[in-house]
């Protein structure tokens, strides 16, 4: 039972809300058994809960934990392959590395690197593109459980186009997917996601397997894949599925577009696809640094929002530049600026929403995480930049909470993340020590 005393910034409303930032300079979050039971001022908190420990976090900013809606587990060691479009990058950088995860020992080391990258960047919840190898997916889930993160992931399915080492038969994929989902879905903070790599690498028979896995047991499994990332990819999908209306239809005609579906990228959607996504309640993971690195294009955020499609942020990681959603938010801001009138004028509160509450909404977790309201789990990130660094200087001279948030997105890095909590449990290496309640000042 702990009272966290901090400058708290969050966005409990909807993306685009006027005055969407909720900021309290000296706020007391009262947390019991991992749940925020009160959000008040320090004096009232101490009076109502005199025996609770007090943790003083005022030397920094306390934010909701970041939610990454598209990140590839096997690609952490492949970051930095610049100068190639999507399909070339996959062939030369990503897929050779993914083949190495056939070795469980190698997969275990990659999982450590991957989960460390998430936590050090302040990510507490992630929709993770898993591995083509069941043993590697087991390793990921086991280590995520040990660390305590909220992870939704699954076996990546493909039965054509990719190197032979990454292919499965539909029958083998069905059996392995069922076994993994039975073992991990709903276990603690873990959930299973049915994960075809993209319809370019999956036949109709494999997509039918995806539909069967999604429907199995009615236990709320998720679905994630790629969509409309690159013009060459889109053209090849059209050639493989001549009867489909568009790329999205290759999934939709198998019943894979639902309110539990998250599609990564969607840089080049048709109006019909946007209408189908919105009607189904599906979400899109916007991965701005990856889109820029691969030259995929400028994400049409305004078209998505005008159509009613939910959008959140993804780091992608392999084709991106790291795990940090502060950087992704900043790049999203830049990309929308470059679109001019066709873009969305994102403010600092919008960037925080995209990195936190938007992701929680996309993953069906908004009742539990995504902001720091009473009744929510304490998934939180404490940002405290190094004294004398540029961010620390900028924050010290911020004119308002909105200005401070703008400076954080402009300058913040994983090095500024000091501590991370998931469900009230600290998972970062640096953990602030509680101050005895009887000696803690309240002013």
List, in order of start, the domains of the chain with CATH numbers: 2-64+371-426 (2.30.40.10), 66-338 (3.20.20.140)
Nearest to 196 by CA among 232, 239, 228, 159: 159
Compute the distance between CA of residue 338 and CA of residue 320 in angstroms, rounded to an integer.
19
By percentage, how much of the chain surpasses pLDDT 70?
96
Q: Which helix (H) or strand (E) holds 35?
A: strand 35-40
Q: Check if the beta carbon of residue 407 is closer than 8 Å to that of residue 383.
A: no
Query: Which two structure tokens, joined as six digits, stand for 416?
Result: 């500024």
DSSP state letter for 286: E
169-201 confidence digits (pLDDT tens): 999 999 999 999 999 999 999 999 999 999 999
Which is it for the CA torsion 161, 166, 169, 175, positive or negative? Answer: negative
Rounded-to-integer distance, Cα 132 and Cα 166, Å: 6
| Sequence-ordered list of residues with C-beta below 8 angstroms from that of 382, at least 6 positions apart, any chain | 6, 57, 60, 61, 62, 417, 418, 419, 420, 432
pLDDT of residue 83: 75
**Residue 44 CB coordination number (10 Å):** 13
Find the length of the chain: 443
Q: What's the pLDDT score for residue 428?
A: 52
* Residue at token pair 């013009």: 231
pTM of the complete model: 0.95
pLDDT at 306 over 70: yes
What average pLDDT does the segment 75-104 reach? 87
430 band by pLDDT with thresholds 50, 70 and 90: very low
CA 114/CA 110 separation, integer angstroms: 6
pLDDT value for 439: 37
pLDDT of residue 85: 84
């Amino acid at each position: 039972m702990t009272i966290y005393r901090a400058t708290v910034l969050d966005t409990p409303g909807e993306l685009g809300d006027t005055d969407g930032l909720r900021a309290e300079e000296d706020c007391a979050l009262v947390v019991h058994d991992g749940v925020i039971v009160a959000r008040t001022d320090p004096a009232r908190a101490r009076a109502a809960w005199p025996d609770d420990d007090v943790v003083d976090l005022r030397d920094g900013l306390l934010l909701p934990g970041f939610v990454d809606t598209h990140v590839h587990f096997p690609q952490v060691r492949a970051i930095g392959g610049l100068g190639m479009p999507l399909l070339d990058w996959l062939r030369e950088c990503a897929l050779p590395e993914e083949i190495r995860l056939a070795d469980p020992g190698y997969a275990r080391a990659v999982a450590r690197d991957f989960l460390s990258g998430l936590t050090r960047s302040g990510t507490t919840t992630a929709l993770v593109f898993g591995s083509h190898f069941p043993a590697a997916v087991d390793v990921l889930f086991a280590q995520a459980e040990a660390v305590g993160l909220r992870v939704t992931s699954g076996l990546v399915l493909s039965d054509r186009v990719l190197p032979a080492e990454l292919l499965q038969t539909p029958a083998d994929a069905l059996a392995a997917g069922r076994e993994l989902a039975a073992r991990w879905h709903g276990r603690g903070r873990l959930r299973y996601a049915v994960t075809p790599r993209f319809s370019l690498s999956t036949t109709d028979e494999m997509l039918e397997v995806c539909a069967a896995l999604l429907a199995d047991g009615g236990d709320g499994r998720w679905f994630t894949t790629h969509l409309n990332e690159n013009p060459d990819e889109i053209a090849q999908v059209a050639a493989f599925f001549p009867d489909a209306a568009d790329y999205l239809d290759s999934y939709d005609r198998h019943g894979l577009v639902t309110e539990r579906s998250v599609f990564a990228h969607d840089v080049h959607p048709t109006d019909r696809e946007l209408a189908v996504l919105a009607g189904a309640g599906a979400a899109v993971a916007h991965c701005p640094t990856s889109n820029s690195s691969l030259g995929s294009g400028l994400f049409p955020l305004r078209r998505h929002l005008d159509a009613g499609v939910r959008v959140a942020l993804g780091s992608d990681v392999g084709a991106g530049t790291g795990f940090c959603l502060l950087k992704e938010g900043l790049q999203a801001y830049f990309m929308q600026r470059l679109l001019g009138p066709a873009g969305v004028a994102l403010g600092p509160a919008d960037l925080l929403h995209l990195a936190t509450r938007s992701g929680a909404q996309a993953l069906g977790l908004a009742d539990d995480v995504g902001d720091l309201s009473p009744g929510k789990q304490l998934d939180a990130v404490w940002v405290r930049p190094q004294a004398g660094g540029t961010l620390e200087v900028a924050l010290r001279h911020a004119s308002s909470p909105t200005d401070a948030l703008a400076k954080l997105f402009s300058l913040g890095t994983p090095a500024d993340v000091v501590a991370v909590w998931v469900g009230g449990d600290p998972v970062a290496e640096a953990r602030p020590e509680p101050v005895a309640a009887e000696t803690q000042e309240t002013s």
